[in-house]
Amino acid sequence: MLEYSVSIKYMLAGYTVFLAVPAVYLISLVIRVRNLKRDLQTMKEFQKKNPK
């Protein structure tokens, strides 16, 4: 049988990963959306200034 103190340590490490990895991914999604919105805005302004 594993010692409780050892077992809890690894369990906490595991659940930290379960929370941290999706959290980092969510942050990356938010940043990418923000950057793309900015790019879209820039492109639209460029089109207004330089009509074909």
- The secondary structure of residue 1, as a DSSP letter, is -
Q: How many CA atoms lie within 13 A of 29 on its CB side?
A: 6
Q: What's the rounded Cα separation, in Å, for the pair 20 and 30?
A: 15
- The answer to whether residue 31 forms part of the interface with other proteins (CB under 8 A) is no
The correct pick among 2, 48, 49, 51 for binding other proteins (CB under 8 A) is 2
Is residue 27 a contact residue for other proteins (CB under 8 A)?
A: no
Question: Where does this chain bind other proteins (CB under 8 A)?
Answer: 1-2, 4, 6-8, 10-11, 13-15, 17-18, 21-22, 25-26, 29, 32-33, 36-37, 39-40, 43-44, 46-47
